[in-house]
Chain A
Amino acid sequence: MALEVDHLQLCYRTLRGDVRAVDDVTFTIDDGEIMGLAGESGCGKSTLGNGLVRMDVRMRQLAGRVELDGEELPISDEKAMRSFRFKSVSIVPQYAMSALNPTRRVGKMVSELLKSRGFDYKSALPELERRVKLVGLDADVLKRYPIELSGGMKQRVVMVISTLLNPSLLIADEVTSALDVSTQRAVGEMLLEFRDRKFVKSTMVITHDVSILAQVADTILVMYAGKLAEKASADVVINSPLHPYTQLLISSLPEVGVRHDEHTLVGIPGRPPPLLNPPAGCRFRDRCPFAFDRCAEEPPFMEVKPGHSVACWLRTKGAAPAGGAEPC
């Protein structure tokens, strides 16, 4: 097991109380596995991903434990985490476009960063250049200033830098959101390549765009309102999801070859519940077309088929509604 997350609870301190952004989350990512973390804005996926690397000043860990490669990852201890960052766990941030110091040449920044972490730049340089070429950039990009690079170039440079020390866990936070479709595909292929060449062991790809996950992910974990909704292998989630939310999410995606006068795109009406004082019971209840009385009680996240876990009373044995209504 590369990454084990056990009953993790993360919250944001605000003036009006604690926002429970990650509410009791448990999952694992194996070595060599690329897990996609999908969900709407505000569902807690970014908090989860970022919290594993560096907790924001307002974040607090309320409960739970994280283990990486059998060793505890002290995510709430800022100082202790430093030795893990970059080496064991690394991140390609959401703000990759502005992640590089504007007044430093890229290579200079990397060398100063490596030196400060106790690594020798000169010995790392050949590998750095190799990887830069691998992602389709010219080696002399290291001599440039960030402002001279395009958005896509900066994204790729940041991906190379973040994975330079071959971390056990890489968190890719919305790495394709700001890119055009062809660059999105290229970045997806980069993630696969990094995994295949063993530059990284396990990858967590955070996105609201399920289509990229179809390309790169082995498994997909769907979050809703701070809680886990469904986890299964990628093609199961996309082709035969069990949780109503996942079903609606997938069906709201346009499909190639489908004409929409035959098949209207369905969105999901309504909004996620506020995480400040979340409602009791299943969080998707208000928007779920299949909600029934049992949903007033929160469904546990359980494995209902091998390798497939859901948090929904419709799927948990013995809880189906009396009328026998079956969703498609």
Chain B
Amino acid sequence: MRRYLARKLIIYVVTFFVAATIDWLLPRMVPGNPVSLLLAKMNLQPQTYNATYSLYMKAFGFNRPWWDQYLNFWRALLHGNLGVSIYDFPKPVTSVIADYVLFTLALLIPAILLAYFAGNKVGAMAARRKSLDNTVLPVGYLLTATAYPWLALLLAFLFAAGGIGHFFPISGGFSYGLIPAWNWAFMWSLITHWFLPFLTLFLVAFGGWAIGMRNLIIYELESDYTHYLEALGAPSKLVRRYAYRNAMLPQLTGLALQLGVIVGGAVVTEVTFAYPGLGYLIFQAVGNDDYFLLQGIFMFIIVGVLVANFIIDIIYVLVDPRTRVGISGA
């Protein structure tokens, strides 16, 4: 077990290293200087231009040799310093992120967990009952073939903009007139603003999980050990339990792989609903050419995904007993 986890850990460290390096490299490989682009927006007087230019260059360390910048980057990173926002100068990236991160987590975590478990349950049921399967299969495929922005727009149109009704607000994280406070009105506002984005993420992910689980269960039900159990008269309950347990393993691996996809979906959904999460923030940062904010969010997301991956690996070890005996599970 330790070897398995240790190996995963090494891969994550390497991933982190590579991702951070890509992150650091990108703005420097881009044509044009981020500082001059920034200054171009500022409408400065020619006299002040040069001074402001060298100020910013110094502030962002662009005047140092590249290996120095790279080392500096790592030094800052390991201290939890993700740099300073260009657009919101001099606000540190970490505090900008802090304002938005909770909204994204509130969206992602319930959506992922619910879609995963509900999808697995429905997929398993569809694998056993042909009648259910005839609905689940096409619906699941259609859901998983749906582009996130489209479903978001559709739901917004139908339930917020008046297509069917104005049941939910169309944008924002909470009503603009309210001051954030721990009272029921504010909580309710949070929830109503949260619901449609959550539903979007949930539905698409749910389709994928249901289909996946259905296929895996069918595969397990056709395996030799299932046939042996049936030949020995085991009731279908036992057979189903074994099939479900065994199908969970590749599904767990799949969960880790899908995290990246659903994060992408969250970005698009948040933008549609102007929901103030990290995805929305990325969008703003791109629009404002705020490179450091972009970089910082990227690193943050990477760390989040790696941590989530590691948690899933630990769960995998707990669920697949073979890994504990030292036989590699995945």
Secondary structure class of chain A's binding surface, majority of residues: loop
Tell me the minimal C-beta distance from A96 to chain B in angstroms. Answer: 8
| Complex interface: stretch among A111-119, A131-139, A212-220 | A111-119
The answer to whether B229 and A113 touch across the interface, beta carbons within 8 angstroms, is: yes
B232 at the interface (CB under 8 A from A): yes
How many angstroms from the CA of A84 to the CA of B246 in the assembled complex?
28
Contact A98 B224, CB 8 Å, known A113-B229, A113-B232, A148-B325 = yes
From B320, which residue of chain A is reached at the shortest CB distance? A103
The answer to whether B238 and A93 touch across the interface, beta carbons within 8 angstroms, is: no
The answer to whether A103 and B229 touch across the interface, beta carbons within 8 angstroms, is: no
How many angstroms from the CA of A103 to the CA of B250 in the assembled complex?
13
Q: Kindly identify, within residues 224 to 266 of chain B, every residue whose CB is under 8 Å from any CB belonging to chain A.
A: 224-225, 227-235, 237-238, 242, 245-246, 249
Report A-chain residues with C-beta under 8 Å of the C-beta of B235: 82, 116
B75 at the interface (CB under 8 A from A): no
Tell me the minimal C-beta distance from A107 to chain B in angstroms. Answer: 13
Contact A145 B224, CB 8 Å, known A90-B232, A103-B249 = no
Q: Which of A85, A86, A99 contacts B224 (CB 8 A)?
A: A99
The answer to whether A145 and B322 touch across the interface, beta carbons within 8 angstroms, is: yes
Report B-chain residues with C-beta under 8 Å of the C-beta of A116: 234-235, 237-238
The answer to whether B227 and A86 touch across the interface, beta carbons within 8 angstroms, is: no
How many angstroms from the CA of A270 to the CA of B320 in the assembled complex?
50
How many angstroms from the CA of A117 to the CA of B227 in the assembled complex?
16
How many angstroms from the CA of A95 to the CA of B228 in the assembled complex?
9
Report A-chain residues with C-beta under 8 Å of the C-beta of B246: 101-103
The answer to whether A101 and B227 touch across the interface, beta carbons within 8 angstroms, is: no
How many angstroms from the CA of A16 to the CA of B233 in the assembled complex?
32
Tell me the minimal C-beta distance from A91 to chain B in angstroms. Answer: 5
Tell me the minimal C-beta distance from B240 to chain A in angstroms. Answer: 11
Report B-chain residues with C-beta under 8 Å of the C-beta of A54: 227, 230-231
How many angstroms from the CA of A82 to the CA of B321 in the assembled complex?
30
Q: Which of B225, B228, B232 contacts A102 (CB 8 A)?
A: B225
How many angstroms from the CA of A83 to the CA of B235 in the assembled complex?
10
Report B-chain residues with C-beta under 8 Å of the C-beta of A117: 232-234
Task: Work out how many contacts link A and B, with CB atoms closer than 8 A.
Answer: 74
A100 at the interface (CB under 8 A from B): yes
The answer to whether A86 and B233 touch across the interface, beta carbons within 8 angstroms, is: yes
The answer to whether B325 and A145 touch across the interface, beta carbons within 8 angstroms, is: yes
A53 at the interface (CB under 8 A from B): yes
Q: Which of B223, B231, B238, B320 has the most CB of A within 10 A?
A: B231
Contact A103 B321, CB 8 Å, known A112-B238, A148-B327 = yes
The answer to whether A93 and B234 touch across the interface, beta carbons within 8 angstroms, is: no
Q: Which of B233, B249, B327 has the most CB of A within 10 A?
A: B233
From A91, which residue of chain B is reached at the shortest CB distance? B231
How many angstroms from the CA of A100 to the CA of B246 in the assembled complex?
12
Q: Which of B229, B232, B325 has the most CB of A within 10 A?
A: B232
The answer to whether B231 and A93 touch across the interface, beta carbons within 8 angstroms, is: yes
The answer to whether A103 and B224 touch across the interface, beta carbons within 8 angstroms, is: no
Tell me the minimal C-beta distance from B187 to chain A in angstroms. Answer: 43
The answer to whether A53 and B231 touch across the interface, beta carbons within 8 angstroms, is: yes
The answer to whether B233 and A103 touch across the interface, beta carbons within 8 angstroms, is: no
The answer to whether B232 and A103 touch across the interface, beta carbons within 8 angstroms, is: no
Contact A99 B225, CB 8 Å, known A105-B321, A148-B327 = yes
A13 at the interface (CB under 8 A from B): no
A122 at the interface (CB under 8 A from B): no
Report B-chain residues with C-beta under 8 Å of the C-beta of A112: 238
From A54, which residue of chain B is reached at the shortest CB distance? B231
A162 at the interface (CB under 8 A from B): yes
From B239, which residue of chain A is reached at the shortest CB distance? A116
The answer to whether B233 and A84 touch across the interface, beta carbons within 8 angstroms, is: yes
The answer to whether B233 and A147 touch across the interface, beta carbons within 8 angstroms, is: no
The interface of chain B, by Cβ under 8 A from chain A, is 223-225, 227-235, 237-238, 242, 245-246, 249, 320-322, 325, 327
Question: Sorted from nearest, which 9 A-B pairs have the closest CB atoms?
Answer: A85-B233, A99-B228, A98-B224, A86-B232, A95-B224, A116-B238, A101-B225, A86-B233, A82-B233
Since A99-B224, A101-B242 are in contact, a sample of 9 more A-B pairs with Cβ atoms closer than 8 Å, ordered by chain A residue number, is A53-B231, A54-B231, A83-B233, A95-B224, A100-B228, A101-B246, A113-B229, A116-B235, A117-B233
A-B contact pairs, 14 of them (CB 8 A): A54-B227, A82-B233, A85-B233, A86-B232, A93-B231, A98-B223, A99-B228, A116-B235, A117-B232, A117-B234, A145-B327, A148-B325, A148-B327, A162-B232
